Amino acid sequence: MFTKTVLDNGIRILSEEMPNARSVSLGIWVENGSRHEARHQNGISHFIEHLLFKGTDRRSAAQIAEEMDSVGGVLNAFTAKEHTCYYAKVLDENFPVAIDLLTDIFLHSVFDREEIERERSVILQEISQAEDTPDDYVHDLFNLDLFKDHPLGRPICGQAATVLKFSREDFLNFVRDRYLPGRVIVAASGHVSHEKLVREMDQRLGGKNLEFRIQNSEFRIGDSPKLQSGIFQHSKPLEQVHLCIGVAGTHQTHPLRYAAYILNTILGGGMSSRLFQEIREKRGKAYSIYSFLASYRDVGYLGVYAGTSLEWAEEVVDLIVREMGRLAAGEIGEEELQRAKSQLVGNMILGLESTDSWMSHITRNEIYFGKAISVEEISSGVRSVSRADIVDLARATFRSEEMALSLLGDFEKKSLDLSLSI
């Protein structure tokens, strides 16, 4: 059962009560991510996410870790483009531990100068590791090429040049300005009482605990980006070529989002998808190939990733574009359509069998829709999509002049003759 309460200071409390579960997942979400950073701030949201685990007025970093480990729970966080989440998953009997730990780090982190310097080194290693992992790094390059100089294109971890400059005062000011009650959502799912959750959070986060941050709490996302098109080659001595190709797609609340889910599934959303079957299974031209959707508040894209040899890169690009062209031409069978629908609904339901996935589900619905979206409503939306809807979306989406292709590989060995013509 889903329930929502708004505290007097604007913090939203969400819960999905699952009486038969033995666990509880609790998250404190902030509607602030890397897209809300100025150029000189790139990476600061992610840095702050790390620092909140490095000590409070009551606990050292080691004590935070030890306390959660002592109950066999999980305590972690992540930063995304449009939000940051601090979360814990514990047995229901240890829910008070999760509440106390999360609210303590959220409100009372000390941002110790020595810890800042240690964590700065860790994040610089994280950035270097990403650049040494080409199948991940090409996605960062693709976002930079596609979104050009827009904050959505910049890496969530930031860049070494910006991370090196952040000071303790920068972190304190950013938290003061961005961690506002109107942007904070507390969500829990599992064996939890909504009334008890509200009472605890009102005591810890309500009233004057965050009252001083109410000013200037209006949510802003800035201008929408204009997506770029073209071919972008990035040279690096590698054994393979890693590539991402994409086109403008649907944003989070777009009326055609269900059609986009199905289109993505048919193209490259699993082992039975067209790209996997054609490029890996039939031709053996790639080990890893898949399509994916990236959706934000006001913009989105459909992308394809592939890793292949330099020798086969041109052929793989041609095959991807050809499959896009076939979809735009209406070459979609009824059996294929029904299989994609069943795959989507099945994946969604299986993915929501854990309390942490439910916690994320209800929060994302609140962030983007401002309300709960039931599994039945999503399933109905998927099943109501017609073949004509898919074809119309494919025709509007898969256009050569609007495609962007980013490639990472050793192009000094061989130059590529690439075409995006459908």
Q: For residue 398, what pLDDT band results from cuts at 50, 70 and 90?
A: very high
Active site residue 49: yes
pLDDT at 209: 64
Q: Which of 16, 31, 37, 49 is catalytic?
A: 49
pLDDT at 422: 83
pLDDT at 363: 98
DSSP per-residue codes, 55-124: -BSS--HHHHHHHHHTTT-EEEEEE-SS-EEEEEEEEGGGHHHHHHHHHHHHHHB---HHHHHHHHHHHH
Treating both helix axes as pointing N-terminal to C-terminal, what angle do 257-268 and 375-383 enclose, rounded to 10 degrees? 70
Q: For residue 290, what pLDDT band results from cuts at 50, 70 and 90?
A: very high
Question: Per-residue pLDDT for 237 more than 50?
Answer: yes
Its pTM stands at 0.93
Mean pLDDT of the chain: 94
Question: Per-residue pLDDT for 219 more than 50?
Answer: no
pLDDT at 218: 46
pLDDT at 212: 43
Query: Any idea which residue has 């959707």 for tokens?
Result: 293
What token pair was written down for 124? 């610089």
pLDDT at 215: 45
Question: Per-residue pLDDT for 29 more than 90?
Answer: yes
| Beta pairing, strands 300-309 & 240-248 | antiparallel
Q: Is 287 exposed, middle or buried (0-12, 13-18, 19+ CB in 10 A)?
A: exposed
Q: What percent of the chain has pLDDT over 90?
A: 92
Q: For residue 221, what pLDDT band results from cuts at 50, 70 and 90?
A: low
Q: Could you tell me if 102 and 26 are in contact, meaning their C-beta atoms sit under 8 angstroms apart?
A: yes
pLDDT at 414: 79
Give mean pLDDT, residues 235-261. Answer: 97
List pLDDT tens digits, range 78-95. Answer: 999 999 999 999 999 999
pLDDT at 419: 86
Domains and CATH numbers, the chain: 2-135+146-211 (3.30.830.10), 230-409 (3.30.830.10)
Q: Could you tell me if 185 and 14 are in contact, meaning their C-beta atoms sit under 8 angstroms apart?
A: yes
Give mean pLDDT, residues 118-129. Answer: 97
> What strand order describes the sheet that includes 404-409?
230-235, 404-409, 240-248, 300-309, 288-295
Question: Per-residue pLDDT for 185 more than 60?
Answer: yes
